[in-house]
Amino acid sequence: MSRFRAYPTGEQASIMLNHCAHARYVWNLAVEQHSHWYKGRKAAPGFAEQCRQLTEARHDSEWLRAGNADVQQQALKDFTRAKNARFTSGFGEPAWRKKYVHEGFRVIGTDRVAEFEADGSPKLNAKGKQVMGRSVVVQKLNRRWAQVKVPGCGWVRFRLTRAGLPKAKTFRVTFRRGQWHIAFAVIPEPIDAPATGDIIGIDRGVKITAALSDGRRLNCPQLTVRERAQIRKHQRRAARAPKGSEARTAAYAKVAKLKAREADRRKDWCEKTSTMLARTYDLVRFEKLNIKNMTASAKGTVEQPGKKVRQKAGLNRAILAQGWGLLRQRTEHKAPGRVEDVPAPYTSLRCSACGWIEKNSRKSQAEFVCVSCGFTCNADENAATNVAAGQGGIPRPRRSAGAGGMTAATGRSSVREPQPTWVGIPLS
C-alpha cells in the first residue's frame, strides 16, 4: 500500500464526504443484513445479489441515487472481502461503521490496461481475447504534486512523497482527524536480503521500544511533555465548554490534531525501522507477543470489578503507543519469509551466557545478573540475545490430573533444581 496526503478543494471535500456517507450507509446495511443470519437459515445474500438489491434501493431512495453507483458498489465489494477474510484478517466479522470515525470509500480505476501472465505473455480469456484490467488514472504535475481522478470531483491533488507514480487497480480515500489520504492498493516489492547470514533478535518493551541483540536500543518517538500538556489543556477546555458549542468542537479538533501527530510519528518510525531491519539482517527474530491479550482491559464485570483498572489502562496505552504490532507486521511485509517469532516465556529470565533460567537473576527493570554464572548485562539486551538465539525457555510441563484435567499450580519457589542439559545452548 502506498499512501499519500490529499489536498482536495473545499468543493471536492464536500462531495467526497458525501461519498463517505453513502459508502458507510451501504456497508452498514450489509452488516445488518448479515447479522440476521442464524443457524439453519438460508445463506445471507452474496455480492451479486447485494448489487441487485443496491440497484433497487437506488431506485427507491433519492438520496442514494444522487450518489455515485461505483462508490456504493465498491463498499459492497469491500464488505464481501472483509466477510470472506474474517477468520484470517484478525479483524473478525465486519462491524458497524461510525460517522466521523470510519470515513472513507474505495474507488475502482476507470482506465483499461492489458493484463499479463506471470511469465510476461498476454493474458487471454476462454475465447482467446486479451483480458483488460482496471487501472487508476494518475497524473504527475511536478516533482512534488500529482493528481488522481475521483468520481464526481474530477482531479484531486495529492502530495507526491515517493519516487514514481503508483500503479494500482483501486485506491481508498480516507478522512481521519481532519486529514484526507489516498491509499493505493499496491503490494510493495520485497527488500533483498543482504546475504551476510546476520541474525538479529528484538525484544520489545515499554521503556525501550526495541532492544536489539547487537546492543542498540531503538525508541519510538512519543509526544513531548509540552505537547501532552497541550492535549490536557484542550481536553479541559472542551470539558468546560457548553455541550454542542463551537468552542467545544474547536478544542476537540485540536486534541485530535495532536493525537494524529503522535500516530504519524509512530508510523513513520515503524516504517523506517522495519526498512532498516529488512536491509541489514538476513533473519529478524521477534519474541512472540499476544498484544491483544496483553492489552485486555482489567475492568472486569459489575459483579466482579477488576483491580487497578486505571493503572492497567495506562499500561495498555503505553504498550499501544510503542507500535509493537506494526513494527513486526511491516518488517514481515518488507522481508517476507525472513521474520520469525520466538516463544516469549522466559526470554527475559534466561541467562544468555549459560542458559540458566531464574527469576532472581533479573535484579531490576534494567539490570540482569545471572545467579548461576555471574554474567552481567542490560536486561533488555539479554532478552534480545535470547530471542536472536531462538531460545525462550521451554515451558514447564503441565501437571495433569489425568483424563485431561488440570490441577491448579500450588506455591512454587523461584529457586529451582539444577536444570537438565537442554537449557545450555551453544551461543557461538
Residue 373 interacts with Zn ion (CB under 5 A)? yes
**Cβ pair 174, 180 in contact under 8 A:** yes
Nearer to Zn ion, 82 or 423 (CB): 423
Nearer to Zn ion, 175 or 368 (CB): 368
> Whole-number minimum distance, CB 386 to Zn ion, in Å?
11
Q: How far apart are CA 335 and CA 330, in angstroms?
A: 8
Rg (CA), the chain: 27
> Whole-number minimum distance, CB 353 to Zn ion, in Å?
5
Q: How far apart are CA 135 and CA 208, in angstroms?
A: 43
> Whole-number minimum distance, CB 376 to Zn ion, in Å?
10
Nearer to Zn ion, 47 or 375 (CB): 375
> Whole-number minimum distance, CB 192 to Zn ion, in Å?
37
> Whole-number minimum distance, CB 205 to Zn ion, in Å?
21
Nearer to Zn ion, 125 or 376 (CB): 376
Residue 255 interacts with Zn ion (CB under 5 A)? no
**Which residues have CB under 8 Å from 175's CB, separation 6+?**
16, 17, 20, 103, 104, 181
Nearest to 362 by CA among 387, 380, 388, 384: 380
Q: Is 377 helix (H, G, I), strand (E, B) or coil?
A: strand
Q: How far apart are CA 119 and CA 124, in angstroms?
A: 13
Nearer to Zn ion, 138 or 370 (CB): 370
The pattern of x and - marking residues 313 through 352 that bind Zn ion according to CB under 5 A reads --------------------------------------x-
- Total number of residues that touch Zn ion (CB under 5 A): 8
Nearer to Zn ion, 166 or 201 (CB): 201
Nearer to Zn ion, 71 or 384 (CB): 384
Inter-helix orientation angle 225-240/246-280, to 10°: 150
Question: What is the phi/psi pair of residue 122, to 5°?
Answer: -60, 140
> Whole-number minimum distance, CB 365 to Zn ion, in Å?
19
Nearer to Zn ion, 69 or 371 (CB): 371
Grid cell locating 394: 521451554
Inter-helix orientation angle 10-35/69-84, to 10°: 40
> Whole-number minimum distance, CB 207 to Zn ion, in Å?
23
Binding residue for Zn ion, selected from 53, 260, 375, 419, defined by CB under 5 A: 375
Of residues 349-368, those binding Zn ion (CB under 5 A): 351, 353-354, 356
Nearer to Zn ion, 22 or 350 (CB): 350
Q: How far apart are CA 132 and CA 122, in angstroms?
A: 10
Q: Is 199 helix (H, G, I), strand (E, B) or coil?
A: strand
> Whole-number minimum distance, CB 358 to Zn ion, in Å?
9
Stretch of 73-81, 96-104, 338-346, 372-380 lying at the interface with Zn ion (CB under 5 A): 372-380
**Longest CA–CA separation in the chain, Å:** 79
Q: H or E stretch including 155?
A: strand 154-159
> Whole-number minimum distance, CB 350 to Zn ion, in Å?
9
**Cβ pair 151, 137 in contact under 8 A:** no
Residue with cell 500516530: 263
> Whole-number minimum distance, CB 364 to Zn ion, in Å?
17
**Which residues have CB under 8 Å from 369's CB, separation 6+?**
361, 363, 375, 376
Q: Is 25 helix (H, G, I), strand (E, B) or coil?
A: helix
> Whole-number minimum distance, CB 425 to Zn ion, in Å?
12
Residue with cell 466477510: 83
Binding residue for Zn ion, selected from 372, 390, 419, 425, defined by CB under 5 A: 372
Stretch of 25-33, 166-174, 253-261, 373-381 lying at the interface with Zn ion (CB under 5 A): 373-381
**Which residues have CB under 8 Å from 317's CB, separation 6+?**
none
Nearer to Zn ion, 25 or 356 (CB): 356
Residue 377 interacts with Zn ion (CB under 5 A)? no
Paired strand residues for 271: none
Nearer to Zn ion, 50 or 382 (CB): 382
Number of Cβ within a 10 Å radius of residue 332: 18
List contacts with Zn ion (CB under 5 A). Answer: 351, 353-354, 356, 370, 372-373, 375
